[in-house]
Amino acid sequence: MNFDFLFNNFAELTVTGLAFGAIYALIALGYTMVYGVLQLINFAHSEVFMYGTFAALWTTMLLVGDSSVSTMKGIGVLLLALVAAMAMSATIALVLERVAYRRLVKNNSPRLIALISAIGASFVLAELMGLRDRIAGWFGLEDDLQRYVAGARINRSMPNVLDNKQLFPIGDYQVTSIDVLVIVSAIVMMVVLDQFVRRSRLGRGIRATAQDPETAALMGVNSTRAVQMTFLLGGLMAGAAAFLYMLKIETTKFDVGFTLGVKAFTAAVLGGIGNLRGALVGGLILGVAENWGSALFGSEWRDVVAFVILVVILLFRPTGILGESLGKARA
Amino acid sequence: MSKTPAVKKLTGSLGERVASLPKPVKIGLWVAFAVLAYALPLLEPPFISPPGTDFGGVLFTVTIYCLVALGLNIVVGYAGLLDLGYVGFYAVGAYTAAILTTFHANWPLLLALPMAVLASTISGVLLGWPTLRVRGDYLAIVTLGFGEIIRLVAVNTEWLGASKGINDIARPPGKALFEIPHLNWESGVPLLDFNDTTKFIEFGVLDQIPYYWMGLTVVILVLFADRLIKDSRVGRAWEATREDEDAAELMGVPTFRFKLLAFATGAFIGGLAGALYASRQSFINPLSFLLLFSIMFLAAVVIGGQGNRWGVLVGAVVVAYLPERFREFTDFRVLVFGAALMALAIFRPEGLLPPRRTVRAKQSEAEIEALEEGAEGEETSRV
């Protein structure tokens, strides 16, 4: 065990861990909300995220090209990329709800079968992205869209739009603008979402449906709408996560969602599934603990650390750290 | 989608007719079915036999999936515990067999096999002991974590061959007694082909058919065991726990112990499948134990009809065989498979072959509903 390395790089490990954790948390929201309302594991949510990364990537490629841009224009480009990513992810999430879930939810099918449907949808979505060059070929578009569809099965990287400025030091580590941007915007998003679900009429509908779908329906909540809203909000958050991920990591691939999805789901369970604040807590703890653990045991043990933490926490606190359900959140 | 009445009547009457046959005839039918299953790779029937790949090898994979599906069915179908890390047990079995028969110990396979099964059963108990107290879906993610931990430990441990894996795993012992010719369909009519034969029974490198026979034999043995367990007190206890844990506990079923037993039994079969796989493959590396496989195993159980041993066998065949048969789609295989999973889930939510109990429950529900509607109809007509 490498304690020296952990202590010497403590600040850097913590800050980057928080940045990763913030991204996990945003993805985890999608899992946790759908679980809170429908009690099913939305396995395909990772693909919702993956489509968001590509939307961000393509938007910047389209607007920036190979030339470098001024700071002001760069900020504009990034904002557009954020909007594109959120729109894309939200669309995919809504389509997913319509195609893979609605019929099963309506027929009250066993929850495991909904999981299988989600797994199927996840394969389909990932492979559609991974075969985009071939699909463009069917329509004779592969030359026009060369830049976007090429390298369908390998890593594609984001053009550099903003310089990653070093802002201020914590200990030995210079905190960069991207670290701050990722952490701050993730937390802002979470607060907005939390307030929305707590205070707005639609949010109340979602919470009512999560608590008791039948009674909610009797009280005039359109449960189909509530479920749709849940997917929409989850998709929006996944899109934001995708954008931040592209800022931080800068590369994406058709199967990038899988590992991140598993991690985000872990974060959701860690914080207490069905609980919005739990997702934030779980995500941040997972991100930081993973970084510390990989410093201590070597980076190849990173994922093992994450899962061991999960197992240990669930043993002592079987409903997660905050352990509240979506329905029980105070109004 | 519900079956049309005509189809339902046909399949229903077929099942009843078979069930009402005298016992010797039924046994005869089963034996004929088993003989056909054993002979399948020798017959190499056109269309069923996948083009361009070794039919024996594909069939062996199918038997391994069948075995795994039967094991996972005990955990998911009978006891109702969602396990997303079943590949972990499979990996424990495979790695134990691999370590014991290669450079670390050099045991013969027949000695290593029981050890592999023992190791995976113990790992099942060790995982189940703390985690089975955790409720439903949390169990899913804990088991998922377990599967990943096993794989990552294998990737990162030099002693386990790290990412290179382990080579030269012992093959089962065998002795070539005589040769069996295959059928050749090239001329349109089946002909015995004496140039293409399988040695009975030698576990070589090229000919995969003996491995298939071995796998099929194990599947049949497990099927018998499964039937005995399911109809015993243990099987009823599992079902009671699945349907309502609190009620079962109140009725005096020690639910935790039975859940642990289900976990251990599932791990036993998973480990056995892993060890057989390792011995056929002769080398293993962590890539054979990805999380994806846990998901495929679960898909086999659920789309086949969890809780019905014949259903999960059908599911295993679908999941293992169809992607091999339609290899000509190559790149689009996963896409098509995903779409098929979705379609099956949406249109056959009970699985391809749901357990008889579910079917009966559905029928009686429909009858009650019809009665209620009928009563209402009478009332309205009276008014």
- Does the pLDDT at position B73 exceed 50? yes
β-strand partners of A308? none
How would you classify the pairing of strands A251-252 and A173-176? unpaired
Question: Higher confidence at residue A185 or residue A299?
Answer: A185
- Is there a contact between A307 and B146 if contact means CB atoms under 8 Å apart? yes
Q: Which residues of A touch B334 (CB under 8 A)?
A: 123, 126-127
- State which amino acid sits at residue B128: G
Report the percentage of chain B scoring pLDDT > 90.
19
- Does the pLDDT at position B381 exceed 70? no
Name the strand (E) or helix (H) holding B196.
strand B191-200
Task: Give the least confident one: A81-90, A288-297, B18-27.
Answer: B18-27
Q: Considering only the beta carbons, identify the residue of B134, B156, B332 that sits closest to A131.
A: B332
**pLDDT score, position B190:** 72
SS3 state of residue B35:
helix
Mean pLDDT score, B248-277: 91
**pLDDT score, position B166:** 83
Rounded CA-CA distance B353/B347 in Å is: 13
- In chain A, the domains with their CATH numbers are 3-328 (1.10.3470)
For residue B149, give the nearest of B91, B82, B93 by alpha carbon: B91
Question: Higher confidence at residue B20 or residue B222?
Answer: B222
How many angstroms separate the CA of residue A4 from the nearest CA in chain B?
Answer: 22
For residue B83, give the nearest of B150, B145, B152 by alpha carbon: B145
Measured between CA atoms, the residue of chain B closest to residue A106 is: B346
Residue A329: exposure state from Cβ atoms within 10 A (0-12, 13-18, ≥19): buried
pLDDT band at B382 (very low <50, low <70, confident <90, very high): very low
Q: Considering only the beta carbons, identify the residue of A119, A128, A320 that sits closest to B341.
A: A119
pLDDT band at B325 (very low <50, low <70, confident <90, very high): confident
- Does the pLDDT at position A172 exceed 80? no
* Mean pLDDT over each residue of chain B, to the nearest integer: 81
- Is there a contact between B340 and A120 if contact means CB atoms under 8 Å apart? yes
β-strand partners of B193? B182
- Does the pLDDT at position B313 exceed 70? yes
Measured between CA atoms, the residue of chain B closest to residue A112 is: B302
Rounded CA-CA distance B77/B269 in Å is: 15
Rounded to the nearest 10°, the torsion over CA A277, A279, A280, A286 is 140
- State which amino acid sits at residue A108: N
As given in the structure block, the two tokens for residue B193 are 């082909």
Cα separations in angstroms, B98 against A74, B212, B270: 55, 20, 15
- Does the pLDDT at position A303 exceed 90? no
Q: Are B261 and B74 in contact (CB under 8 A)?
A: no
Report the percentage of chain B scoring pLDDT > 70.
89
Rounded CA-CA distance B157/B119 in Å is: 18
Mean pLDDT score, A90-112: 88
Cα separations in angstroms, A125 against A31, A38, A48, A121, B74: 17, 21, 8, 6, 31
For residue A88, give the nearest of A143, A129, A118, A131 by alpha carbon: A129
For residue B300, give the nearest of B41, B196, B59, B308 by alpha carbon: B308
pLDDT band at A324 (very low <50, low <70, confident <90, very high): low
Q: Is the CB of A254 inside 8 Å of chain B's CB atoms?
A: no
Rounded CA-CA distance B268/B71 in Å is: 8
Q: Is the CB of A266 inside 8 Å of chain B's CB atoms?
A: yes
**pLDDT score, position B118:** 94
- Residue B81, Ramachandran bin (φ over 0: left; ψ between -120 and 50: alpha; else beta): beta
State pLDDT tens for residues A19-37: 999 999 999 999 999 988 8
- Is there a contact between B342 and A319 if contact means CB atoms under 8 Å apart? no
* Mean pLDDT over each residue of chain A, to the nearest integer: 86
Residues 125-144 of A with CB under 8 A from B: 126-128, 131, 134
- Does the pLDDT at position B279 exceed 90? no
**pLDDT score, position A328:** 57
pLDDT band at B16 (very low <50, low <70, confident <90, very high): low
Q: How many CB pairs under 8 A join A and B?
A: 128
As given in the structure block, the two tokens for residue A108 are 């009250």
Q: Considering only the beta carbons, identify the residue of A100, A107, A300 that sits closest to B342.
A: A100
Q: Considering only the beta carbons, identify the residue of A114, A115, A120 that sits closest to B339.
A: A120
For residue B326, give the nearest of B52, B134, B138 by alpha carbon: B52
Q: Helices in chain A by DSSP H: which ranges? A: 3-8, 10-38, 45-64, 71-96, 102-106, 111-130, 132-138, 146-149, 177-199, 201-211, 213-218, 223-248, 256-271, 276-297, 302-316
Q: Is the CB of B298 inside 8 Å of chain A's CB atoms?
A: yes
Q: Is the CB of A300 inside 8 Å of chain B's CB atoms?
A: yes
Rounded to the nearest 10°, the torsion over CA B319, B223, B259, B115 is -90
- In chain B, the domains with their CATH numbers are 51-170+213-376 (1.10.3470)
Residues 31-70 of A with CB under 8 A from B: 35, 39, 41
Rounded CA-CA distance A168/A288 in Å is: 20
Q: Which residues of B touch A314 (CB under 8 A)?
A: 131, 134, 138, 141-142
Task: Give the least confident one: A119-123, A269-273, B61-65, B234-238.
Answer: A269-273
Q: Is the CB of B130 inside 8 Å of chain A's CB atoms?
A: yes
Rounded CA-CA distance B325/B180 in Å is: 25
pLDDT band at B379 (very low <50, low <70, confident <90, very high): very low
Mean pLDDT score, A223-234: 92
Cα separations in angstroms, B216 against A95, B37, B41: 42, 8, 12
**pLDDT score, position B383:** 40
Torsion sign across C-alpha atoms A289, A23, A311, B144: negative
Place of tokens 């007509």: B381
How many angstroms separate the CA of residue A192 from the nearest CA in chain B?
Answer: 28
pLDDT band at A75 (very low <50, low <70, confident <90, very high): confident
In sequence order, what are the residues at sequence separation of 6 or more whose Cβ sits closer than 8 angstroms to the Cβ of residue A172? Answer: A8, A9, A11, A12
Rounded CA-CA distance B16/B370 in Å is: 24
State pLDDT tens for residues B126-172: 888 888 877 666 787 788 888 888 888 888 887 877 778 887 777 78
> What's the half-sphere exposure (Cβ side, CA atoms, 13 Å) at A132?
20
Cα separations in angstroms, B382 against B153, B371, B376, B377, B379: 74, 16, 10, 9, 5
CA angle, B248 as apex, B242 and B249 as ends, to 5°? 120
Residue A318: exposure state from Cβ atoms within 10 A (0-12, 13-18, ≥19): middle
Q: Is the CB of B331 inside 8 Å of chain A's CB atoms?
A: yes
Q: Is the CB of B82 inside 8 Å of chain A's CB atoms?
A: yes
pLDDT band at B374 (very low <50, low <70, confident <90, very high): low
- ipTM associated with this complex: 0.85
Kindly report the number of other CB atoms within 10 A of residue B57's CB atom: 19
Rounded CA-CA distance A118/A324 in Å is: 25
Task: Give the least confident one: A248-257, B72-81, B368-377.
Answer: B368-377
